[in-house]
Amino acid sequence: MRTQLEQAVLGRATSAMKLAAAVESVPPDKVRREIAAGRAVIPANPAHAGLKPAVVGRAFRTKINANLGCSPDSSDTACELEKLREALAVGADFVMDLSVGADLSRLRKTMIAASPVALGTVPIYEAFSRVSGDIDRLDADILLEVIDEHARQGVDFMTLHAGLLRRHIPATMKRLMGIVSRGGAILAEWMVLQGKENPLYSRWDDVMEICRRNDVTVSLGDGLRPGCLADASDKAQFAELDVLGKLVKRCRSHGVQVMVEGPGHVPFNQIGMNMKREARVCHGAPFYVLGPVVTDIAPGYDHITSCIGATAAAYHGASLLCYVTPAEHLALPTKEEVRAGVVVYRIAAHAADVARGLPGARDIDDAMSRARRDFDWKKQFELAIDGDYARERFERTLTPGDSNADHCSMCGKEFCAVRRTNRIYEETH
């Protein structure tokens, strides 16, 4: 007897699965099987026109997400559209609009229309904005109204912090950093002030009806993710994870695709354990992780500290990596910082795919090595993750008119080992 999720997948239009399968160079049936089993998701709202769908799951290439969006203090629609174009230009697979403030509906419509990749949101942000930050006016009906509007507009996946319950809050007050999730902190304060359970959790069946009707993928938010190394892998984090595991089963029983969000700051030696625990507790649902950041002392360079953790996370079990930019912990990222975040996360994702032996993952590395051996600079720049920057950096110290140089300025012509090796090969064959 088929499960509700299997029935939903079988009854769904196959175009998204076929398109995703073509990009992955795998049979469509493989994509369908992984989604039906809950091990993969394709966030693809039918209302999102022009979407080029991508599949998230361990059987496929590791994907990356770029967070965009205005803050009350910075940016506007035009600026965020520039960032969107920059993220897409360097290969983001997904984007999220994390905007807070006024007129969010218009901004979101514009972002969806401009994005050929799946777009996600965090509805609690807009719900809180609609009550002008007055937490006493926030309630379940407003949240459901916002979720429904996002779904009807074409949002493909939504972060819903439904696993953070009242009973978890005391444990967070023993932490060094407490609650660092924006959505998690809003809901936690609401529960304390109202003396009620998380409205997303208590009205979960209503949430499921909206998501099922609009084919929205749920991304179960980690409202209690650790915000520093001292809080990693603690009682609060894992208590929420246990609830997320139960919500995964409820999503599947409603025929709704679901993935699970993971920790933010984790010591490197705990990453593997966290990935394996999520897979077990959450019944193999795809894991979507932020970083994790592996040290707390590198503001301005957290795209690097988190990229180290992201590579390990993807190797040990994560399927989708949420990028971190150089502005993390400091400010809203600029267009240039968005580009840097996407590039380093593409490196992390690819490195993990090579390490776990994903079929075909290393082909591009071998092609790059042949191009380097042959001093085929044009081919190298075509294959590079950020070919524009590689070309610019190469040409900066290049002798004018010498675009076919058989060396670079690192070693110079006479000390170039590759030139010498090529000569040895010619002399011995």
Q: What is the pTM of this model?
A: 0.95
Alpha-carbon torsion 323, 329, 332, 338, what sign? negative
Which pairs with CB-CB distance under 8 Å and at least 24 residues apart come from 138-147?
A: 138/186, 138/190, 139/199, 140/199, 140/200, 140/202, 140/203, 143/199, 143/200, 143/203, 144/203, 144/206, 144/207, 144/210, 147/123, 147/207, 147/210, 147/211
The CATH number of 4-355, from 3.20.20.540, 3.40.47.10, 3.20.20.150, 3.40.50.1470, is: 3.20.20.540
Q: What is the residue-wise DSSP string for 162-211?
A: -S--GGGHHHHTTSSS----HHHHHHHHHHHHHT---HHHHTHHHHHHHH
Domain with CATH 3.20.20.540 in the chain: 4-355
Question: What pLDDT, on the 0 to 100 scale, is given for residue 246?
Answer: 98
Exposure string of 157-189, with b = 16+ CB inside 10 Å and e = fewer, is: bbbbbbbbbbebbebbeebeebbbbbbbbbbbe
Q: What is the pLDDT along the chain (429 residues), one digit of tens a residue?
A: 567 787 777 666 578 899 999 999 999 999 999 999 999 999 999 999 999 999 999 999 999 999 999 988 888 999 999 999 999 999 999 999 999 988 899 999 999 999 999 999 999 999 999 999 999 999 999 999 999 999 999 999 999 999 999 999 999 999 999 999 999 999 999 999 999 999 999 999 999 999 999 999 999 999 999 999 999 999 999 999 999 999 999 999 999 999 999 999 999 999 999 999 999 999 999 999 999 999 999 999 999 999 999 999 999 999 999 999 999 999 999 999 999 999 999 999 999 999 999 999 999 999 999 999 999 999 999 999 999 999 999 998 877 666 568 888 888 888 999 999 999 999 998
Nearest partner of 9 among 40, 51, 48, 52, judged by Cα: 40
DSSP, collapsed to helix, strand or coil, labels residue 158 as: strand
159: its two tokens? 């972060």
Are 75 and 97 spatial neighbours (Cβ–Cβ below 8 Å)?
Answer: no
Q: What is the residue-wise DSSP string for 221-260?
A: --TT--SSGGGTT-HHHHHHHHHHHHHHHHHHHTT--EEE
Question: What pLDDT, on the 0 to 100 scale, is given for residue 412?
Answer: 84
The pair phi, psi for residue 202, each rounded to 5°, is: -70, -25
d(CA 428, CA 417): 16
